[in-house]
Amino acid sequence: MSVTETAAWKALEDHAAMMQNTHLRDLFLADSSDKKRFDELSLSHEHLLLDFSKQRITQNTLTLLKALADNCQLNDWKARLFNGDHINTSEDRPALHTALRQPEDSHLALANHNIIGDVHANLAHMASMVERIHAGQWRGYSGLPIDTIVNIGVGGSDLGPLMACKALSDAQPPEGHQLKMHFVSSMDGSQIADLLDRLVPTTTLFIISSKSFTTIDTLSNANTARQWLKSASGVKTELLNRRHFIGISASAEKMNQWGIPENSQLNFWDWTGGRYSMWSAIGLPIALRIGMQGFKAMLSGAHAMDEHFKTAPFEENLPVRLGMIGIWNINFLNIHAHAILPYDGRLSHLPAYLEQLEMESNGKSVSRQGEAIGYSTCPILWGEIGPNAQHAFYQLLHQGSESVMCDFIAPARRYDDFNNKGLQQQHQLSLANCLAQSRLLALGDAAIAGNDTAPIHKRYRGNQPSTTVLLDELNPYSFGQLIALYEHKVFVQSVIWDINPFDQWGVELGKKMATDLLKPLENEPSYSSFDSSTEGLLNAILNKQEPGQ
């Protein structure tokens, strides 16, 4: 039976029909005498506080959402996730990113083997590499110590480390050892071409990050890097492979084939999904940036969120509430756009990270039973640093025709250690804007006395729901909590929608099609015929590429 046929779903539909004309303004007005809405609807755990009071919900909504979660056996699914059941059914494997942050003395058996031992052996290998590089003992072909790292990867092998290195940029690496870090992902070569112009071959180390080690984007960038080193050094490829490349993958065989020596390889496992992999060896750039201790603090923060998700009751559970309110917005209030708005420049890559995490996980319309789904799943998610977005797309949030749900994310404290009043004031300014925007989006004109008589083009209708995620401060631990919070939120929603969030078949066919299209572009005979648009464009490109045209 489809979830939409259940009594729990229908009760929520009825409730939504009643709530349809209730403005957030009314919900706050009803609360104006005792001002309890915030206390009743916000939740906190350790360093995170989530304010849900600007969501279009009442206590009754939460009760009905709990009935839906129970009906969908959310608690059983949580147990299956943590126990390592093969819940990624289309690939017949578990999804065990949570095991990557389990403490060393814990235990998780997969086919009678304790994988936590493997996880920590891997961390130790990673730590030894980090130590060598930080100590200046990893030397390039000319004997000079490495001082520049380039991570080559894409999707899950890029976005997590990229986001984390920026988010934790205030964290000091051990002994002040500052490596220059760069990230290359795009297949068109523009990032690597730009970098190679500026980098010094003797002191640059490339990390080739790819779960499959077959991703053409990554391998083509890696080949370009090796070619650059060859031309600059004139030394043998074998020496370059040894001194200038680290490989991170679930396939040792593929790394061997490319030429990465065994002791420069870091492995992880097929039960770690690409977009859930920054906690594995894929996180090496993070450890290089903030040190192994910082990396482990990030794992501990995520583990604390795992434990909270696993054990806290529905009424207190942050990821469960975040996920279920998303369900309410999407499936019952018909809101299909979701903006991620961090009020801290260090979180500038969070929107791109969540775009992959949410849309690649839950952007699906087939159920676990292989049936077409007749209800909405993952919304369109996008975002930008809040203060910059205010000068760009907030116009649409305030006066456009679309309902949009927003996540405002900010640390309460920043620049405590900076003896700079100007910076401290900038942080307060950013917080003031964060609070102002979520208030205006919720209440509309009612937030500003007198604006309700303004001409219509100056009016704000409000009623855009938002959640504010407040961190005490942004550090490796709270950052780990924050990302694990979103991972589990995505899982909660997948359970309600009855979909597998751990595969991504929708990205495969495009890759195959690109292989077919490369032939005519490289002037090789192609036996495929294409549609008229593709053929027209191919011909136009080929004509323009002919010399003298």
Ligand X SMILES: O=P(O)(O)OC[C@H]1O[C@H](O)[C@H](O)[C@@H](O)[C@@H]1O
Q: Interface with ligand X by CB under 6 A: which residues?
A: 154-157, 210-212, 215, 218, 274-275, 360, 504, 507
CB of 278 to ligand X, least distance (A): 11
**Residue 148 φ/ψ, nearest 5 degrees:** -135, 135
- Closer CB to ligand X, 155 or 520, in the complex: 155
* Phi, psi torsion values for 181, nearest 5 degrees: -115, 135
Nearest Cα to Cα of residue 469 among 479, 459, 458: 479
**Cβ 418 to ligand X shortest distance, Å:** 36
CA dihedral 305, 431, 338, 466 (to 10 degrees): 80
Inter-residue contact 118 to 111 (CB < 8 Å): no
The CB-side HSE value for 368 (13 A sphere, CA atoms) comes to 19
- Min separation Cβ 241 and ligand X, Å: 19
The whole-angstrom separation of Cα 284 and Cα 183 is: 12
Q: What beta strand segments (E) does 254-336 contain?
A: 265-267
Q: Three-class SS of residue 528?
A: coil
Is there a catalytic annotation at residue 511? yes
- What is the longest distance spanned by two Cα atoms in the chain? 78
Nearer of residues 202 and 215 to ligand X, judged by Cβ = 215
Q: How far is the CB of 186 from ligand X (least distance, A)?
A: 13
Closer CB to ligand X, 172 or 212, in the complex: 212
Distance in angstroms (rounded) separating the CA atoms of residues 25 and 20: 13
For tokens 């464009």, what's the residue? 537
Distances (CA, A) of 39 to 36, 43, 54, 466: 5, 8, 12, 16
Instruction: Identify the residue whose tokens are 């500026």.
Output: 198
CA 156 to chain centre: 8
- CB-based contact 148:182 (threshold 8 Å): yes
Q: Of the listed 10, 511, 519, 535, which one is catalytic?
A: 511
166 classed as catalytic: no
Q: Which residue has the tokens 């930008």?
A: 384
- Answer yes or no: 360 catalytic: yes
The string of DSSP codes covering 374-443 is -S--S-EEEE--HHHHHTTTHHHHHHSSS--EEEEEEEEE--TT---HHHHHHHHHHHHHHHHHHHHHHH
Residue 220 or 376: the one with the smaller Cβ distance to ligand X is: 220
Kindly state the smallest distance separating residue 332's Cβ from ligand X, in Å.
30
Report the residue number, 226 or 398, with the smaller CB distance to ligand X: 226
How far, in Å, CA of 82 to CA of 96, rounded? 7
Whole-Å CA distances, 357 to 155, 327, 483, 503: 10, 17, 10, 11
End-to-end C-alpha distance for the chain, whole angstroms:
61
Q: Which of 510, 533, 413, 406 is nearest to 463 (CA)?
A: 406
Considering the complex, state which of residue 128 and residue 257 has its C-beta at the smaller distance from ligand X. Answer: 257
Q: How far is the CB of 491 from ligand X (least distance, A)?
A: 16
| Residue 276 or 460 having the CB closest to ligand X | 276
Nearest distance, CB of residue 347 and ligand X, angstroms? 20
Give the count of beta carbons closer than 10 Å to the beta carbon of residue 50: 20
Least Cβ distance, residue 153 to ligand X (angstroms): 6
Cβ nearer to ligand X, comparing 29 with 507: 507
Cβ closer to ligand X: 158 or 306? Answer: 158
Which candidate in 391, 457, 512, 544 is catalytic?
391
CB of 539 to ligand X, least distance (A): 29
Q: Report the C-alpha gap between 278 and 101 in whole angstroms.
A: 11
Residue among 360, 398, 488, 489 flagged as catalytic: 360
Nearer to ligand X, 149 or 152 (CB): 152
Provide the residue count of the chain.
549
Where in the sequence numbering do the catalytic residues fall?
A: 360, 391, 511
